[in-house]
Amino acid sequence: KSRVGILISGRGSNMEALVAAAAAADFPAEIAIVLSNRAAAPGLETARRAGIPARAIPARDFGVDRAAHEAAIDAALREAGCELVCLAGYMRLLTPFLVGSWAGRMLNIHPSLLPAFPGLDTHARALAAGVRLHGCTVHLVTEVMDEGPILAQAAVPVLPGDTEASLAARVLVQEHRIYPQALRNLICGEQVPADPRASLLNPCV
Ligand code: GAR
């Protein structure tokens, strides 16, 4: 099994979905560690309850030194033997250092159909734009926020009367479905992303 590290900042429901998927004997990944940039992230406790090592590496411990914070995260991932990293609601921008350190091996889930609505408040912006379809995207992380080769997407309808909360909930169900699927496909080489660096992963037997 490929060892996967997960970075979170809050609730961690996507992390939970990955942990649940990885519990299956035939899933090609195991979750090696969960890290959060916020000590108060509820997801840390959720991970521990599932028996996954989880710890906070708070950005504020490093003051304005973003490089030192990312170096600590990078070191923790490597100490845990991670081969891949999944960002799951990790709400800090990454510098080229961490992105470069995991090039082709770092995934992110974003709550919109990229390239529509990169950034924050995606559900409110989708409602304001009047789109009829919204959804979520799993992609490889590159230096540009919410860009990078797309690995999986799922669309949901925007329904009359939708609020930000109702739309977010509809999208979240799909996030939990496609994130484990995209991770599996990437590891198993069933999906050949536009980025050839991803091909360093081994096909599953
Ligand atoms: C998810 O909807 C995820 O797509 C989004 O934050 C939420 C985290 O929820 N990520 C981003 O907006 C990244 N820019 P979770 O902690 O329950 O997985």
Which pLDDT does position 72 carry in this prediction? 98
**12 annotated ligand-binding residue:** yes
The CA distance from 7 to 108, in Å, is 10
Backbone φ and ψ of 55, nearest 5°: -150, 155
Which pLDDT does position 65 carry in this prediction? 94
Q: Which of 9, 109, 136, 166 to mutate to test the pocket of ligand 1 (most atoms within 8 A of CB)?
A: 109
Which pLDDT does position 179 carry in this prediction? 98
Question: What sections of the chain are H helices per DSSP?
Answer: 13-22, 42-49, 66-79, 96-101, 122-129, 164-188
**For 3-21, what is each residue's pLDDT tens digit?**
999 999 999 999 999 999 9
Which pLDDT does position 190 carry in this prediction? 74
For the residues of 81-129, what is the DSSP string, one character each? T-SEEEESS--SPPPHHHHHHTTTSEEEEESS-TTSS-SS-HHHHHHHH
- Enzyme catalytic residues: 110
Q: Which of 6, 13, 46, 177 to mutate to test the pocket of ligand 1 (most atoms within 8 A of CB)?
A: 13
Q: Split the chain (205 residues) into runs of 10 and give each run's mean pLDDT.
A: 98 98 97 98 98 97 95 98 98 96 98 98 98 98 97 98 98 98 94 54 60
Which pLDDT does position 194 carry in this prediction? 58
Q: Is the CB of 10 under 6 A from ligand 1?
A: yes
Which pLDDT does position 205 carry in this prediction? 56
